[in-house]
Amino acid sequence: MNHFYKILCILCLCTNQISAQQNISVKADKAALRQVVKLVEAQVPYTFLYDEQRISLNKRISLDVTGNLNSVLKAIEKAAFVELQVSGKHILMKPSRTGLLSGRVIDEQGAPLQSVSVYLPAMDQRFITGENGEFRFHYPATKTRNELLTISLLGRQEQRLQVDLEPGERRLPDVILPILSMGLEEVSVAPTADSRLESNSSIYINREVILQSGALSLNDLLNLVPGKKIEAPSLQRVQQANLRTANYATNSAASRDAFALNNAFGVALILDGIALSNNANMQTRNVGMTGMENAGVFGGASGLTGGGNSPGNYSGDYAFGGLDLRQITTDNIESVEIVAGVASARYGDLTDGAIIINRMAGSSPLHFQMQLRDNATVYGMNKGFQTKKFGGFSFGANFTRSFEDNRDKLKAYDRWGGNAMWTIAGGRERAFTNTLSVDYNRNLDNILQDPDDPTGTFVRFRTYNFSIANRANYRIDHGFISNIGLNMRYGQSYQNTYKEQLMNGTFVIYSDATEVGVAQGIYGPGTYTSISHIEGKPIDFTTRLDLTGRYYTGDVAHQVQFGANYNYSKNNGAGQIVDPSRPNSLASAATASNRSARYYDYTQIRAQHQIGLYAEDVFQLDVADRPLHVRAGARMDFFEKFVTVSPRANLRYELNSKWRVGLAYGFSSKAPALAQLYPGPVYYEIPLFQYTAVTETGAVDAAKSLYLLHVDKFVPGNSTLKPSKSQQFELSTMYASNGYRLAINVYDKRNYDGIGTVRGFSQVLLDRYERNPDQTAEIPYIINGTDLRRLTRNEFRNGNKSYNRGIEVLLSTPKWEAIQTVFNLRGGFTHTEARPLTSYNFLDFTNPGTDPGYAVTGVYPSRLRVTMTSNAALTTSTHIPKAKLIVNFTAEFNILNETKTLATDGIPVGYYTENGNYYLINEFDPENVQYRHLLQTQQLLNNQNQPGLYSNFHLNLSKEITERLTVSFNVYNVFNYRPQYLRSDNTLIIPNSKPTYGAQLRLRL
């Protein structure tokens, strides 16, 4: 009997298998799912089981399929968004855990738009529309959730839609993408806080805001960051991004402070999904001679303006910090996302945030732009067109000329460049998209020699940049992997720093010796042109592979993103080109030690390699019946022998339809630059003996003169230099209702292992050379005993720490219809505590006499400083669509700028003499003539403090004359309000720059 049941079961299984292999046919044209089920049941010995409360049997689908049962069921699954499973004699049907979002993009006349970029950030998927303007996204879905969908095309108003991603198929109404115009009812006038992007506290700036800003470079857009002082548009200073820190300065001029450099170096610039790097920049003098803060090549020019508006001690180099933002124009930037908080785990090699820049290629009319300012002239144009077979192309070009003062034109900055982009989409449902971009620009930053100042300098900073980048993306609708992205970029630059200055003296003594020991100096003419020359050729290659997968834990759909990146940095420049016969300073009287430069070839420096791995999970779950959005992950970075692990998480909880709260935590690291790893050897020249013979005419007789010196060579060992690190904790809240939007971010960011230079001293025992009392002797010197000499050592070390705490506020109101005005308020407070890596601080002084015990270097307690800054700006934006007019008026309030130091920081605890002897000061004696000059008063230490609140006012007016012509006018400090105050060191400070005016013309052909 048991054998009978076994045989019966086998026969049933065989029958089911034969039925599964039997070919069936289903043809349906917009038929109800119920009818399709009956067609299948009529051809196979199976019945469907389902819950009509969960399955909509009236859903209409279309399909035409012939094949075995499995192939037919898969076709029904895809068409009806259900899951089918054969179980015994039944086919179980349940709702699918995937969804389809589709729609069409059209213009104002209803015609479909091609080459539109449709991006779903939550899924990290991008679709480029075809000739029909259609787009489709497949996504995992177990329950409904609200996500952001961005739709953009060059020259048209970006649409940011809130869409519900739910199981099944959803088709959006046609999306109209109008041409950018001030006649539109809704126009963006201010940046917005958007927690659905890369961070809970991301600030988003779209194309409309960029056009109204009148920006000369990317740096001007950073004026929109809450809490940041608004700077006058200018290209006469190196511009680097600093986020969430209080710089140690009273004005907006560039700072060489080590903490400011570390912060700027830790801000990543992401252009079209690919990181730009400054790691290979080595345009710097030998740090072992000067320390990091003073290693640039500096030049000065007084000009006609004088005072605070003159270039002063200026350098156009930007090693050790971030990229110079002057080189990035805003002509074809579609959007900018500023991530000052915790960035996504996919972004590495950063400690202080990221600036994400998106550009686009596509069909657009010829745009011509011209901006005339009192200190700059800008021309730009771009054009995009579409082809049927080869996708979309766009081309752009720009030229800028800027002067510090148009009357003398001594300080000038020229920038010109161009770019081309090609975007193509193909494959089934246009699943494959690829964007190729080529960029080239030249940046010339010069200080001409003042014809009225024969001792003036000529300084030239040149940078030529070329890059080619490719961004490929492939969508996969089924399976674990849903998206594959591959980004690559190769960049090569030519950097040239050149300074010359006329030197006029009786003679000069120099040496080109490179071996340690006693060497004989060379006498040369004292009238010559001193030259400082550095040539660099940075090369940077970056690639990143991004994979997106999906999986489920119960009813929770997970979007997991993981991948790897690699970065290669090298410098093939000639390096520090030194002519010893043309020293930077006259040495006609060799009475003091001197650190001297020698030729340093950058091609001998080995390349830098960085590898990173990351994984991140994005999902939503319900807590107390409200959605909790989670983005959590980690990355691992490999640099030399160091490995850093960086966990990061952004959590966002929706309290109700109006309020959201967020919590974020992140750890990050930044590898050292080549210039920090390989600063080069330092040569120290110590004079031993000098005898200068003269002829009867008073000229130097070089043949009978003698100069002896001791050459010391020091090679800094930076093999222990490791990545700098930071960790950040952030709380955020957002409110949105009836047009009101409020965003508040509170953060605590701690940076440690920051890179700086440590100054130390060593001593060397040398023979004492004296004049031979026998004037007839062949050798003009004798050796009489020994002397101790001091040698200064500057080396890179990790150890700088800073604690940054603050609050940021963004508030916007709906349009007040009575006056057609929107109000926007942004502001912030930053508290920064900076702790240098050294336990002591050093200040140098000159010995006015010959006292060997005179203090030439004071030793002070390490200067721990606390800086607090606060700034707010209220902008009223009046938009009259019928008049096609926008008027933005900004009232800026600089509330606080204060630095606190300890009174004891200015009291020396010891000092060094010229021979390197160190003397401890147990109790400072103000009457001691050997070291009383070392005292630094509290007024000198705290001379950065702003005595009170001061304001500034700015105006921007834009008018669309015709559909093709728009004119803008903007003024910084429109009321010429320039308050003044005296610092504690009696220096007059004028915090507001003089008014600067600009007019911009935009023509669309």
The pair of three-digit structure tokens given for residue 279, joined into one six-digit string: 């790691």
Lowest mean pLDDT among 222-226, 500-504, 810-814, 830-834: 500-504
Measured CA to CA, the distance from residue 345 to residue 47 in angstroms comes to: 48
Q: Which amino acid is at 159?
A: Q
pLDDT at 248: 60
Q: How many CA atoms lie within 13 A of 419 on its CB side?
A: 25
Count the domains in the chain: 2
Q: Which two tokens stand for residue 629?
A: 């959005």
Q: Establish if 228 belongs to a structural domain.
A: no
For residue 832, tell me if it sits in a domain.
yes
C-alpha span between 350 and 339 (Å, rounded) = 11
| pLDDT higher than threshold 80 for residue 430 | yes
User: What does the alpha-carbon distance between residue 816 and residue 960 come to, in Å, rounded to a whole number?
Assistant: 22
Which residues on neighbouring strands pair with residue 338, listed in sequence order? 203, 355
Sort strands 47-49 and 90-95 into parallel, antiparallel or unpaired: parallel
Does 860 score more than 50 pLDDT? yes
CA distance 347 to 546: 11
What is the domain-level CATH number for residue 87?
3.55.50.30
Pick from 204-218, 405-419, 585-599: least confident: 585-599
Instruction: Band the pLDDT of 589: cuts 50, 70, 90.
Output: very low
- Is the pLDDT at 985 greater than 80? The verdict is no
**157 is a domain residue:** no
Instruction: Indicate the SS3 state at residue 683.
Output: strand
Last residue of a domain, one of 45, 64, 96: 96
Contacts for 578-585: CB closer than 8 Å, 24+ residues apart: 578/533, 579/531, 580/510, 580/511, 580/512, 581/510, 581/512, 581/522, 581/524, 581/528, 582/503, 582/528, 582/529, 582/530, 582/531, 583/508, 583/510, 583/530, 584/501, 584/530, 584/532, 585/530
Q: Which of 584, 578, 577 is nearest to 512 (CA)?
A: 578
- Cα–Cα distance between 139 and 270 in angstroms, integer? 26
Of 338 and 81, the structure prediction assigns the larger pLDDT to 338
Across the range 151-167, mean pLDDT stands at: 86
Identify the residue with better confidence: 309 or 652.
652
* Six-digit token string for 305: 């303006």
pTM: 0.88
Q: What is the pLDDT of residue 941?
A: 64
Closest to 138 in 3D by CA, of 163, 173, 102, 105: 102
- 706 vs 53 pLDDT, higher one: 706
The answer as to whether 809 is a domain residue is yes
Q: Is residue 627 part of a domain?
A: yes
CATH classification of the domain holding 449: 2.40.170.20
The predicted structure's pLDDT at residue 590: 44
Residue ending a domain, among 48, 72, 96, is 96
Instruction: Give Cα separations from 275 to 389, 418, 566, 644 (angstroms).
Output: 31, 20, 11, 19
Contact 282, 676 (CB under 8 A): no
pLDDT digits (tens, 9 = 90+) for 535-555: 999 999 999 999 999 888 887
C-alpha closest to that of 217 among 143, 323, 310: 323
Residue with tokens 């004989």: 520
640 Cβ partners below 8 Å, 6+ apart? none
Query: What is the pLDDT, as a whole number, of residue 166?
Result: 79
Q: What is the 3-state secondary structure (H, E, C) of 350-380?
A: CCCCEEEEEECCCCEEEEEEEEEECCEEEEE
- Are residues 809 and 826 in contact, defined by beta-carbon separation less than 8 angstroms? yes
Residue 102 in domain: no
pLDDT digits over 19-34, tens only?
556 788 888 888 888 8
Give percent of the chain with pLDDT exceeding 90.
51
As a whole number, the mean pLDDT across the chain is 88
402-406 contacts, C-beta under 8 A, 24 or more apart: 402/216, 402/234, 402/235, 402/236, 402/375, 402/376, 402/377, 403/236, 403/375, 403/376, 404/236, 404/303, 404/305, 404/309, 404/310, 404/311, 404/375, 405/303, 405/304, 405/305, 405/309, 405/375, 406/374, 406/375
* Structural domain ending residue among the three candidates 80, 96, 112: 96
Span 191-244, pLDDT tens digits: 998 767 788 999 999 999 998 888 999 999 999 999 999 998 999 889 999 999
Segment holding 262, helix H or strand E: helix 258-265
Q: Note the Cα 809 to chain centre separation in Å.
A: 22
pLDDT of 310 > 50? The answer is no
pLDDT in tens, 819-841: 999 999 999 999 999 999 888 88
Angstrom distance (rounded) from CA 260 to CA 247: 6
pLDDT at 728 > cutoff 50: yes
Residue 934: its pLDDT value, please? 92
Q: Long-range contacts made by residues 659-663, C-beta under 8 angstroms, separation at least 24?
A: 659/733, 659/734, 659/735, 660/195, 660/733, 660/734, 660/735, 661/731, 661/732, 661/733, 661/734, 662/195, 662/200, 662/201, 662/730, 662/731, 662/732, 662/733, 662/734, 663/200, 663/730, 663/731, 663/732
Enumerate residues 6+ apart whose C-beta is below 8 A from 639.
610, 671, 722, 723
| Ramachandran bin of 30, using left for φ above 0, alpha for ψ from -120 to 50, beta for the remaining angles | left
Q: Is residue 356 part of a domain?
A: yes
From the list 405, 181, 233, 182, the residue with the least C-alpha distance to 954 is 233
Inside any domain, residue 666: yes
Domain of 575 in residue numbering reads as: 287-551+563-1004
CA dist 151 and 173 (Å) reads 13
| SS3 category, 221 | helix
For tokens 């003594």, name the residue: 509
What is the phi-psi region of residue 168: left when phi exceeds 0, alpha when psi lies from -120 to 50, beta otherwise?
A: left
